[in-house]
Amino acid sequence: MKQHLLLLIGLSLTPLTLAGEPGGKEVLTSGKVPCVEAAPSCLTYEFLDLQYQYSDFDGWDAGHGVAVNLSKALFGHVYLTATTDWTRTGWEHTDIDAYSVTAGLGYYLPVTDRFHLNIEAGALFSDLESDYGSSSEWGGAAGPGFRYCLTEQLELFGNAYYTAYEGGFDIWDFNAGIIYDVTKSVGLKFSGLFNEEGYTLLAGIRIYY
């Protein structure tokens, strides 16, 4: 059971962002007749997150680490999402390094330009390393979520994931946070991952490409 709790520390499959400029832009056609260009969505699915993470799970020492999240639009409303992370924690005076990699696909439904519903599913691999050896396991996660542009610079998001491992352990994770765009290329991201065993807090930057 202790092993499985560590496997969840880095799970963050939530490609959420804020970019673009909602609202029309006046353009001229070849006939010099003014028209209004269709308003683009304020949400994009192409970004890279670089984050620090702090975790606190029952029975384990407080953990500190880093996480990298990638999102890439593929076709239509389908996008790729991937995450890798590392956390240093401990148990019974033993240092433990926890690594995880996740990859999957997402599909978003634009209710409006500012509000999207989404669903994501993917595979995950987790590995624990200590002086007493290592342990690894495969699993999967899937669940729904939402993204909402509160303003042109501020986005709110939330997701729920059902996570299951090959050894039979399963759990629900809940992820929520905010994105604040400092420029059109860089934003600040603050989020948290919560479940019945503890939580992970993340803070970092989002780079749009």
13 in Cβ contact with 122 (< 8 Å): yes
Predicted pLDDT at 173: 95
Question: For 53-64, what is the mean pLDDT?
Answer: 89
Alpha-carbon gap, residue 27 to 137, rounded angstroms = 55
Per residue in 176-187, pLDDT tens? Answer: 999 999 999 999
Q: What is the CATH number of domain 2-208?
A: 2.40.160
Using a cut of 0.85, tell me whether the model's pTM lies above it.
Answer: no
**Total Cβ atoms within 10 A of residue 7:** 26
For residues 121 and 80, what is the distance between their CA atoms, to the nearest angstrom? 10
Average of per-residue pLDDT values in the chain = 84
Residue 207: pLDDT over 60: yes
Identity of the highest mean pLDDT range in 16-20, 40-44, 105-109: 105-109
Q: Where are the alpha helices (DSSP H) in the chain?
A: 2-7
pLDDT of residue 181: 96
Amino acid residing at 19: A
Domain boundaries, the chain: 2-208
Q: What is the pLDDT of residues 101-139, one digit of tens each?
A: 999 999 999 999 999 999 999 999 999 898 888 889 999
- Between residues 138 and 18, which one has the greater pLDDT? 138
Residue among 154, 202, 135, 153 nearest 175 (CA): 202
